[in-house]
Structure 1
């Protein structure tokens, strides 16, 4: 089974259980804690992915690290994942969980790139217009690209709406050359 399929299955099962058990917010908070630890500890990720570290040892490692920051329900999930030899997929499971949760809540990530930093007012107006355009709640991820000269490019999923001046100049150049 591929990594993506397995990760999505575990994430989906966790999401379903959390919704049915009415402890979704707790699971979301605890997954943020786990994700942060995993992002800052490459050694932990290596240990979880290593076939040399046995499942019982992985469970012990996870319990020691997270004993004060996650609840019993999350420990049950972590034990299950380690017991099934999928502890190395925890980062991917967490990412898939967030994707599934966002889909369920109608939230999409949108990359917004501009030549200079947008003001809070400009950002809010753009997010409002994008929400109206997509019909979904927008989670903006802002970036600056000084090569844009001016304007904004927006990436929603696989679609890019490029309103940058540099892009417009490229299009003008192409039309003049043709």
Structure 2
């Protein structure tokens, strides 16, 4: 099993328990905050992910961090201690990301990325968000990037679907048609 698949399983398990026993949004916030705290301190992160450090020592470190963290839900500490016991803390950033994705899906929110040749003006961005929301039936959180190589138009990614309306892609298709004719 890949690390992403394992992280997705842990995230799904945490989410399912959080929906039943806690506040899933709060659990996600606490998990993300703990993951950010660990990744912000390189020596700490290294100690928690290094295979040569025994799981019992990792568990002790996680317990000490949890005592100071102010995490209110019971489900997040259980997951973190399980990851420490199983020597899987290396998955923590991916678990936090997978949990966030699952929470967004549960809330009817989808992430979309749009790439344009020039910065997208506010009114066009809003119109694109509204159009994508109508097309997907979900609330859209849009991230915009600029890449002059696409020449014009836009490349939009919603989940695993890519809508390539770039001038660069249109020129590529035209070239292919001319070469096959």
How does the TM-score come out when normalised to structure 1? 0.86
Length, aligned pairs only: 178
Distance 2:177 2:73 in 1: 63
- How far off its partner does 1:146 sit? 0.8
Counterpart residue number, 1:172 = 174
Distance 1:115 1:103 in 2: 30
Counterpart residue number, 1:151 = 153
- How far off its partner does 1:166 sit? 2.0
Residue segments in structure 1 that go unaligned for 5+ positions in a row = none
Answer yes or no: is the 8 Å Cα contact 2:117–2:151 preserved in 1.
yes
Distance 2:79 2:166 in 1: 46
Deviations 1:65-124 (A, max 9, x none): 452342362223212221233222212221221222222222222120001111121111
Residue segments in structure 2 that go unaligned for 5+ positions in a row = none
C-alpha RMSD of matched pairs (Å): 2.2
Describe the SS at the equivalent of 1:140: strand
Counterpart residue number, 1:6 = 6
- How far off its partner does 1:31 sit? 1.8
> Out of 134, 137, 140, which is 2:136 matched to?
134
- How far off its partner does 1:161 sit? 1.3
Counterpart residue number, 1:124 = 126
Counterpart residue number, 2:71 = 70
Aligned pairs for 1:17-36 (under 5 A) are 17-36=17-36
Change (3 A) 1:166 1:15: same
Describe the SS at the equivalent of 1:112: strand
Tell me, yes or no, if structure 1 residue 96 matches structure 2 residue 88: no
Range with greater deviation from structure 2 (113-122 or 151-160)? 151-160
- How far off its partner does 1:42 sit? 4.3
Distance 1:129 1:154 in 2: 12
Describe the SS at the equivalent of 2:53: coil
- How far off its partner does 1:12 sit? 1.6
